[in-house]
Amino acid sequence: MTLYINDAYVKSTTSIQKNVRDLSSFIQLAQSLYILPAFGSNITTAITYAIDNSTLVVGSDLDILLTNFIKPALAYRTAYLALNAIHYQITETGVITKSGGDNLAVDKKTISELQNDYGNLAQEFIKAGLDYVEKNINSFQGYVLEFKTKDTDHRKPKQLGNILFKWRGGSCGQGSIHY
């Protein structure tokens, strides 16, 4: 799977420290669970193809969507997913907090608040990205999104130009797209 961001991007965008090791599994999970469903497989396939083949045109609408909206959303959603694994360690004797040096562990409430902040930021970037697609609909006409339709055939794809995006979400990005 082609990842749209790397560890360094997550660490430069969020408060995750540089000494935290490999985040690639969390990036992959966030990309699969949140970015693909939000933007559809055709837009994400086009981005992946452009990255893999070095054909992403700087300043194009696809590049702007990726750079200004998808990458930040992915970084915050990655941090959201990784935070518990960074803070807690599962051992044969149970779940313990990780600590080292002069660091002090924080309580679960603080971790949950930080996770909620990351989730809400990710949701806002996704919403802004969907708004960007809607405002620049002519650049995205060729992409068909697999969102559920209002009729009985939930597998029937719709042209992006026929979809009016409205993001209606709950906490931490648990939202849906309505048209």
Query: For the chain, how many structural domains are there in total?
Result: 1
Q: Is residue 96 part of a domain?
A: yes
pTM of the model: 0.76
Q: Is residue 64 part of a domain?
A: yes
Mean pLDDT of the chain: 79
- Number of continuous H segments (helices) and E segments (strands) in the chain: 6, 6
pLDDT, tens digit (0-9, with 9 covering 90-100), for 27-49: 999 999 999 999 988 899 999 99
Average the pLDDT over 152-169 and give the result: 37
Q: Is residue 44 part of a domain?
A: yes
Q: Is residue 89 part of a domain?
A: yes
Helix (H) or strand (E) holding 153: none
Q: Is residue 21 part of a domain?
A: yes
What domain range includes position 27?
7-178
Which of 14-28, 69-83, 120-134, 149-163 has the least mean pLDDT?
149-163
CA-CA distance, 87 to 58, in Å (whole number)? Answer: 37
Q: Is residue 1 part of a domain?
A: no
Average the pLDDT over 7-34 and give the result: 92
- Give, in order, the Cα–Cα distances in Å from 115 to each of 24, 78, 91, 112, 146: 18, 10, 23, 5, 29
pLDDT, tens digit (0-9, with 9 covering 90-100), for 72-113: 999 999 999 998 888 766 677 766 676 665 566 677 888 889
Q: Is residue 172 part of a domain?
A: yes
Q: Is residue 55 part of a domain?
A: yes
